[in-house]
Amino acid sequence: MCDQNKSQKMKNLTKENIKGYYDNLYLSLEIEMRPIRVYEKIIEYLNGRKGLKLLDVSCGTGNLIKCAEERGIEGYGIDISEIAIMLARSKVKNSKRVVLADASSLPYKDGYFDLVTNFASLQYYIDQGKAISEMARVARSGARLCIVVPNGNFPLFYITPHSGWKIYGDKIEGKVLKFYEWIKLLGKNGLKVERIYRERGPSLSSSKSIFQFLRRVVLKISLLLPKRLNYQLCFICKKENNFFDNG
């Protein structure tokens, strides 16, 4: 019965569930999910500079795009959440470059972007490989990509594994792969991992509850673990030169 219920929950998680979850999340956010310096660091990792084109896939409220624009980078963004798009458009210089779209079918031509980012969203994509291949497709040959994901090797994930797409009331749970599984999946879909950095994870609430306190303590402790056991990882990738090239 337990396995049957689990299977049913996995079946019930659809793109509409994911969209609804993020609409509600962005409507109820008490604070920004990450400080601006995190996005600035990502642009540094990618060697972002004036004149380049950057696409942020699942752009959320648009902070990374805003940081890119402040450095003379041409910033674009897509998200499945209408609320996220509304908030992002209110922050960026060119709101027409932020559009409602699905990561598995990006509305851009092949090889259009110099930089592509995806921040802690890939675990919620029902077809992760397709989304990665789409990011590779719209990136030019030799483009740099930043993919931030939770790490299934993080010790607490052995207690509460995120092994499939499930829905619990108004909460959703994605599929979290382990360190080398992420690297393998990225490579299979055209992205070669060049560097790996630690990422602390989001702050979803300013609450001083014991749960939030313990969560912050656990995430800080994870920064002391070997990189392959860290809670969240930032993969800096390069698009393989012959991947999706038309000539």
Yes or no: say if 95 and 122 are a contact pair by the CB < 8 Å rule.
no
At 86-118, the pLDDT tens digits run 999 999 999 999 999 999 999 999 999 999 999
Closest CA to 61 of 35, 43, 85, 80: 85
Alpha helices in 168-238 (DSSP H): 179-188, 210-222
Residues 6+ apart with CB under 8 A from 36: 63, 67
Domain 2-239 CATH superfamily = Vaccinia Virus protein VP39 (3.40.50.150)
At 182-212, the pLDDT tens digits run 999 999 999 999 999 988 766 544 455 565 5
Q: Which residue has the higher pLDDT, 17 or 116?
A: 116
pLDDT confidence of residue 240: 83
pLDDT confidence of residue 136: 98
**pLDDT tier, 223 (very low <50, low <70, confident <90, very high otherwise):** confident
Q: Which residue has the higher pLDDT, 145 or 169?
A: 145
pLDDT confidence of residue 247: 36
At 165-186, the pLDDT tens digits run 565 556 777 889 999 999 999 9
Q: Enter the pTM of the model.
A: 0.86
